[in-house]
Amino acid sequence: VKRNASTLEVDNDKVYIEGSHEWWMAKGAYEASLEEYGGGGDACTVDDYQELVLQFSFVTLFGVAFPLTGLLALVSNIVEIYIDSYKLCHNMRRPLAQRVSSIPDTWLKILKIVTLICIVTNIVIVFTNSDVVSEQLSVEKDTSEMWLYAFLFEHIIIVFILLFWAAIPSEPKGITQLKNLSKKIQRSVLISNSHNLQT
């Protein structure tokens, strides 16, 4: 099968003009013969989420040790967008569209845990490898006083992040109000329809 801008060639002998009934049938048969993306269903997104969470983990956990990690991850993601789009458009069967409101809760919890762990790792990396911190705090390196400062800074940042998560809702207030209004309208329509059916 060869695809062109306006034609579809099957088995080197039949060429269908784009938009014709035969073209659509041949295109459908061709796409149905392709391998299903990621095994199909919810399983196809697991590998994608896993890859992104691993990349996020490396960037946040060791970003202080190698600051270019974020830039390299950005470049990697831009390249991957083009590779995945080609793969989805040409080499794989199109996945069925599914409506989702956000990242699945499991992955969101994992990202939050990684965020909290990265605070600890970055504080430890900075306090063990940087002379600037010991100079600014006027303490000797690798002493209990320095580790007390590290413990304090770590907890201040963790408390700040937890307060930030608590203060910002996962859904804007206006959207929540619109959803509640929509549910009220649906209930009133259902009730009025049931009354009409009874009479």
- Give the residue ranges of DSSP H helices in the chain: 21-33, 43-62, 69-86, 105-129, 131-137, 144-167, 173-198
Q: Are 64 and 70 in contact (CB under 8 A)?
A: no
Q: Give per-residue pLDDT as tens, 25-43.
A: 877 787 888 888 776 666 6
Q: What is the CA radius of gyration of the chain?
A: 27
List residues bridging with 2 in a β-sheet: 9
Joined tokens for residue 110: 């994992």
Joined tokens for residue 102: 């956000």
Q: Are 30 and 1 in contact (CB under 8 A)?
A: yes
Q: Give per-residue pLDDT as tens, 97-143.
A: 777 777 888 888 999 999 999 999 999 888 888 888 888 888 888 78
Q: Give per-residue pLDDT as tens, 81-108.
A: 999 888 888 788 777 777 777 788 888 8
